Structure 1
Amino acid sequence: MAFEEHRSEIVSTTPYDGQKPGTSGLRKPVNVFMSNNYTQNFVQSILDAINTENDLLIIGGDGRYYVQEAVQIIIKMCAANGVKRLIVGQNGIFSTPAVSNLIRKHKASGGIILTASHNPGGINGDFGIKYNCENGGPAPEGVTNQIYERTKNIKQYKICPTLNVDIANIGANEYKVDGNTFRVEVIDSVADYSTLMKEIFDFPKLKTYVSNPSNKILIDAMNGVMGPYAKQIFIDELGAASDAVVHSTPLPDFGGEHPDPNLTYAAGLVKAMSSGDYVFGAAFDGDGDRNMILGHKAFFVTPSDSLAVIAANIELIPYFKKTGVKGFARSMPTAGAVDQVARKLNKNVYEVPTGWKFFGNLMDSNQLSLCGEESFGTGSDHIREKDGCWAVLAWLTILANTQLSVEELVKNHWKTFGRNFFTRYDYENCDAKKCDEMIARMEKIVADGSLLNTKYKIGNKESVIITNDNFEYKDPVDHSVSSRQGIRILFDDGSRIVLRLSGTGSQGATVRLYVDCYADDISVIEQESSEVLKPLVDIAIDLLKIKEYTGRDKPTVIT
């Protein structure tokens, strides 16, 4: 076989400020990544910081604007930096869970994922790059800090400018770069992930349920990466109707929509489900790691409840019959519904900071089977990422086994375990300086303890603040410490107010206010969540001075 011969080049560059990865990679507006050497600087910093001893990396993204161009840049730079082998998704497409699976399957050094997740796409939208390490999960803080330090001092990058790889067609090609063999394998984006799902779930049983005309489902891929995955799995494999998957073509601008699966941005799905024609509905975000679950007549399942319901029915999933159930976990802002399940099942439950990477150590040390975040992320130890399609298949498995509706399942769950009422207010693109001042003010208040023992009237009862802090997490596996993870105000009745700045925005600051409370009174658990939580929300907005610091009378999104 004849090899194409190529030579690498070293290109001088200068650092850009602010290339610090957030909770899941570096996210900025597209035009920033397209700036001279901006993408190259960050990719070189990744390659300098990581261990590529294995010499295999997985490359792909969610199909948003600039993915294909960035894939070509990364291929050229990997070749010049001595990486021996790449696995690339056809047309540069891979869902984030699919990349995690491939890293683990092939024991790769890691993967570079091109996504800004649930952020808008298009020329005026956002782009992102993140590195997932050899366990398949987002790089831990130690690695992202190394990457960031390199971005601050970078002076040159390596690239092979003459190397052009056809990523539209499946197949493997080998090249000679500086005399060394460089192999690029372009593979079907869906096949390996679909195979994994068949190993986890009982597909014949799911097909009996999903293909039944009485059990019509509706899946909204929101013009993101999940379209091809959803069509193959739900229609081709499980026999759903041919129109059961909508917005199934990945578009560079997500069709001008915001690919965030919540009641605000997935309003089309909510409207369709409200018609009563479907028993189950779900939406995915841009890169396929988040999910929203709806029942008949658009009955909404909060992510906290979704995690808890799966936990309570976990042994219905064949995978866990083989592996056993090791423990549960949730992010700190997520309401404690899964905690109630853990207590009854006598399982450990862990509270970690926001960011899926914090679940990885627990999974790798066999302490964790199932976890989730209130930001519509749910997953298990089958990979090291949250996984939207897995969550939907878990729900369909429970429905197929119990023959209950989504609403019946959730309300029966509340009657057994009690209900954790929860809401999140997002204030997007706020003035970053003012938001930092708001956090600093609250840090000072919680440090001096002046809020302790303060009494508030919440509904028809008086509640007392018993704890307030800035959440700190000590990893039980590697004993690393993550500080300043969110302001917490806890009341004696179990109610909570949590405030933090999001790490997933691309510009400005996103303020997130979380409010939750617990009730096991039958007369309360089926009340409207907004009514139950309103007194606590009003207290939070006043206490934190949200309006003064954000300049907003109302949030951008309420979930």
Structure 2
Amino acid sequence: MRLMMTVSGVRGVVGETLTPTVAAELGCAFGTYLRGGKVVVGRDSRPSGAMVQQGVVSGLLSAGCDVILLGIASTPATALMVRRHSAAGGVVITASHNPVIWNGIKFLTNEGLAPPPEQAERIFGIYDLKAFTLARVEQLSTPQSDPSAANAHVEAALALVDPALVSAKAFRVVLDSINGAGGVEGKMLLERLGCEVVHINAEANGRFAHVPEPLAENLTQPCEAVTAKQAVAGFVQDPDADRLAIVDENGVYIGEEYTLALAARYMFAAHPGPAAANLSTSRMIDDVAAQAGGACRVYRSPVGEANVVAVMKEHGCQFGGEGNGGIIDLRVGPVRDSLVAMALTLQLMTLTGKTISQLVSDIPRYVMIKQKFECEKDRIARVLEAVRSQCEDGQINDSDGVRVDYADAWVHIRGSNTEPIVRIIAEAPTADRANQLIDRMRQIMDATA
């Protein structure tokens, strides 16, 4: 297995592809790219986090960087502190929803955003060539600690809503932090919003209480807790707390696509204007925009957090996100943020007087099917060109693979950045229609063999 290096950062299996030496060299490569300067470093709660962090920090120091250590902190909190410190960049030690044997290194720009592809390539090029610039001994510094990240993040999220109004409802909610990095921040936010918090899997020890990927079969514990405690909602964070899954008051997991749709319902009403979402995100957000009317509309981006943010900036969008439970509000930062998602959801419930299940029932329901198929990398371009030429009966967006929109449904086919596979996502009012679109893509693929 190789070290995975993409625009989203670096991930590897600890002790195999991700070792202390690799971590130190990647830190040195990033420090060399930055030409020194201040770098903010946070990490999630994985048992390997301290080891990987030590390696990265030694590399940064060797390149002449001044390092600010946040300790265990969510990805959005780390991104926020990059800007608060006016740092040259940031590093988050996390592998997001990957199993505990994995860890990763996510680089951040001075805006707290993942570097665009050309910058990521330059960082990886320095690493590959070992073209490090090492500082003279008199330029070396000692890392400094900043314990204020959690409070700063909570304050930023609270500023988006009316805490007094939400507090008056005295909601009882379940928070499942999966023993990840977001527990302290998440509980602090909910308590500041007047909630009675039933906090499960709260210890930041990195021993994930269930599989982190937010699938229904992995979320039985928070669903049962909502029912047992008669809570109005369950909020489930991922290990680095940038994504949020939601359980309704009946103990039913509503699906990660609804996190963005519910946030959009509030934002389009409170702050009418455009939003951005990637090409693989449900069209529920388009339906919510259409219901809101006026200046509300959705711009689509290639897959990837940084791509969503680029489209947000291009079109003046205040918020956006991805269908994986990731909400981005530029007032807090240019990254996905589970605290923002929780705050906006509770504000929506407060203003509408509706439960989660009632809010979900107001949004058109679709069936989304995701599949992947083996496809040699040199064949992927031919497949995409065939889809473009044979699907002229729909509206085509080829900014990232090919997405074809029809009046009732859509399908998106794209090659993986890390594996010889293509991913196909189809969404339609029925499973039969979604499968029909996937079958059509598969037939086009087979014909290019």
In which range does the TM-score fall when normalised by the shorter chain?
Answer: 0.7 to 0.9
Correspondence for 1:337 among 270, 273, 284: 284
Q: Which residue of 2 aligns with 1:82?
A: 64
In the alignment, which of 318, 322, 338 is matched to residue 369 of structure 1? 318
Q: Is the 8 Å Cα contact of residues 260 and 286 (structure 1) preserved in structure 2?
A: no
Per-residue CA deviations over 1:123-151 (Å, capped at 9, x if unaligned) read xx211111110111111112111112222
Q: Distance in 1 between matches of 2:220 and 2:420?
A: 25
Partner of 2:414: 500
C-alpha spacing 1:128/1:546, structure 2 compared with 1 (3 Å): farther
* Contact persistence 1:260–1:285 (CA under 8 A): yes
- Counterpart-to-counterpart distance in 1, 2:416 and 2:195: 37
Which stretches in structure 2 are left out of the alignment for 5+ residues? none
| Contact persistence 1:59–1:113 (CA under 8 A) | yes
| 1:219 alignment partner, one of 155, 168, 175 | 175
The amino acid that maps onto 1:372 is G
Partners of 1:542 and 1:81 in 2: how far apart? 52
Larger Rg: 1
Quick check: 1:57–1:108 contact (8 Å CA) kept in 2?
Answer: yes
What is the alpha-carbon distance in structure 2 between the residues aligned to residue 128 and residue 97 of structure 1? Answer: 16
Which residue identity does 2:350 align to in structure 1? A
Instruction: Please tell me the residue identity of whatever aligns with 1:370.
Output: F
**Separation in structure 2 between the aligned mates of residue 195 and residue 409 of structure 1, nearest angstrom:** 27
Contact (CA 8 Å) 1:281, 1:294: kept in 2 or not?
Answer: yes
Structure 2 counterpart SS, 1:297: coil
- Is 1:466 aligned to residue 405 of structure 2? no
Distance 1:117 1:424, change over 3 A: farther
1:127 corresponds to 2:81: no
Q: 1:245 to 1:328 in 2, by over 3 A?
A: same
Q: Which residue of 2 aligns with 1:202?
A: 162
Q: What are the residue-to-residue correspondences of 1:406-555 with 2, within 5 Å? A: 406-412=356-362, 414=363, 419=364, 421-425=366-370, 434=375, 436=377, 439-440=380-381, 442-446=383-387, 449=389, 451-452=390-391, 465-467=393-395, 471-472=398-399, 485-491=400-406, 493-502=407-416, 512-517=423-428, 532-541=430-439, 543-544=441-442
Within-5 A mapping of 1:50-65: 50=34, 52=36, 55-65=37-47
**What corresponds to 1:114 in structure 2?**
93
Give the whole-Å Cα distance in 1 for the aligned partners of 2:423 and 2:241: 22
State the shift of 1:364 in Å: 4.6
Match of 1:381 in 2: 330
Q: For 2:236, what is the secondary structure of its paired residue? A: strand
Q: Distance in 2 between matches of 1:110 and 1:266?
A: 35
CA distance in 2, matches of 1:106, 1:375: 29
One-letter amino acid of the structure 2 residue matched with residue 411 of structure 1: S
CA distance in 2 between counterparts of 1:34 and 1:336 reads 38
C-alpha distance after superposition, 1:348-405 (max 9, x if no partner): 4311011111133344567011111112211211201010121011001111122111
- Measured in 1, the distance between the counterparts of 2:440 and 2:314 equals 43
What is the distance in 1 between the residues matched to 2:297 and 2:32? 38
Q: Amino acid of the residue matched to residue 295 of structure 2? A: N
**Whole-angstrom distance in 2 between the partners of 1:301 and 1:498:** 22
- 1:271 deviates by 3.6
Distance 1:56 1:325, change over 3 A: farther
184, 189, 196: which one pairs with 1:241? 196
CA distance in 2, matches of 1:36, 1:68: 10
TM-score in terms of structure 1 length: 0.71
Tell me if the contact between 1:220 and 1:246 (Cα under 8 Å) persists in the aligned partners: yes
Structure 1 position 193 matched with structure 2 position 153? yes
> Does the CA-based 8 Å contact 1:446-1:468 persist in structure 2?
no
8 Å Cα contact 1:87-1:187 kept in structure 2? no
Aligned residue among 1, 4, 22 for 1:38: 22
Question: C-alpha deviations, 1:18-62, integer Å up to 9, x for none?
Answer: 66632411112112344462222222222222354xx22110111
User: SS of the residue aligned with 1:264?
Assistant: helix
The residue number in structure 2 matching 1:148 is 124
User: Residue 284 of structure 1: CA displacement?
Assistant: 0.9
Note the aligned Cα RMSD (angstroms).
Answer: 3.1
Which of 193, 199, 208 matches 1:254? Answer: 208
SS at structure 2 position matched to 1:99 = helix
Cα 1:262–1:377 shift into 2, 3 Å:
farther
Amino acid at match of 1:486: G
Q: Is 2:94 the partner of 1:137?
A: no
Shift of 1:195: 1.9
Q: TM-score, normalised by structure 2?
A: 0.88
Asked if the contact 2:412/2:426 (under 8 Å) is kept, the reply is yes
Aligned length: 444
Q: In the superposition, relative to structure 1, how do residues 501 and 285 fare at CA in structure 2: closer, same or farther (>3 Å)?
A: farther
Aligned residue for 1:296, secondary structure, equals coil
SS in 2 for 1:44: helix
The one-letter code sitting in structure 2 at the alignment partner of 1:152 is D
- Give the alignment partner of residue 231 of structure 2, picking from 278, 296, 307: 278
Q: Letter of the aligned partner of 1:88 in structure 2?
A: L
Match of 1:48 among 23, 32, 43: 32
Once residues 28 and 467 of structure 1 are traced to their aligned partners in structure 2, the CA distance between those partners, rounded to angstroms, is 38
Q: 8 Å contact 2:63–2:132 — kept in the other structure?
A: no
